[in-house]
Structure 1
Amino acid sequence: MMEFKMKENGFQGEFEFGTLDVSGNEEFGFRPFQLLVSSVAVCSGGVLRKVLEKKRITYDDITIQADVTRNEAGANEVTDIHLHFNIVGSSASDQQIEKSLEIAKRNCPIVQSVKDSIQVTESFKQM
């Protein structure tokens, strides 16, 4: 169970790694949408790493850029997240990376949790 205690300008949770401050005002903590997008991006990236390792595909580095679309006419909810993976020093073909991203998307629990309400798309560039 997670517990979040109300503070003057948001909420705070204590976890094994440390304290997490969450607030609608980024002067006082991470904004909820930032945590949502971070969860989708980092989960996808972590699963992709495992897929590449299982396939014995080597690489030097991966960075992920997340482009977020929100519905300002509604509750400003997140409607789309596009993840762009920059993969440095990969030994794989573009087809192998595409296949690996498909597998990662199917096996990322966070993407699977939001797939019916948020459209998550991916692209990549090998560098």
Structure 2
Amino acid sequence: MNFEAKEKGFVTHLSYGDLHVSGDEAYGFRPYQLLVSSIAVCSGGVLRKVLDKMRMPCTDMQITADVTRNEAEANRVEKIHLHFIITGENLKAEKVQKAVDAASKNCPMVQSVKGSIVVTESFELVPLVP
């Protein structure tokens, strides 16, 4: 990846489009937003694959990410709590918990921050309404 300086941040040109990054939200995504997004979306993607392999495909998934930052330490990200809202048929809480645990262990982004950022997960199941 190559990042070019612009007046209020940086830009990189990717095959999907340009990514603007800035400490000021008016000029691009803030770095911590990208960090949290990569962890949440990677974890959710791995979870979907695990659920598919367990023959419990979900029809919808939403993820909320609650972030704890430490202002005294350069406003670093210390904790991220991911909450998965999973919609599907025949979802069993015990099996979904195993899938969430497996996803955490197999998500490259979660594993990349292991030991420096605490990542926790929870979930709720929403039955598929006919």
What TM-score do the two structures reach when normalised by structure 1? 0.97
Q: Distance in 2 between matches of 1:79 and 1:72?
A: 10
What TM-score do the two structures reach when normalised by structure 2? 0.95
By how many angstroms is 1:103 displaced?
0.4
Which residue does the alignment assign to 1:73?
Answer: 72
Q: Distance in 2 between matches of 1:76 and 1:58?
A: 38
Which residue does the alignment assign to 1:121?
Answer: 120
Instruction: Percent identity, please.
Output: 58
Aligned length: 126
Which residue does the alignment assign to 1:33?
Answer: 32
Which residue does the alignment assign to 2:60?
Answer: 61
Q: Distance in 2 between matches of 1:23 and 1:81?
A: 21
List 4+ stretches of structure 1 deviating above 2 A.
Answer: none
CA RMSD of aligned residues (A): 0.7
Gapped runs of 5+ residues in structure 1? none
Does the 8 Å CA contact 1:58/1:91 hold for their aligned counterparts? no
Gapped runs of 5+ residues in structure 2? none
2:73 is paired with a residue whose SS is coil
Matched, 1:44 2:46: no
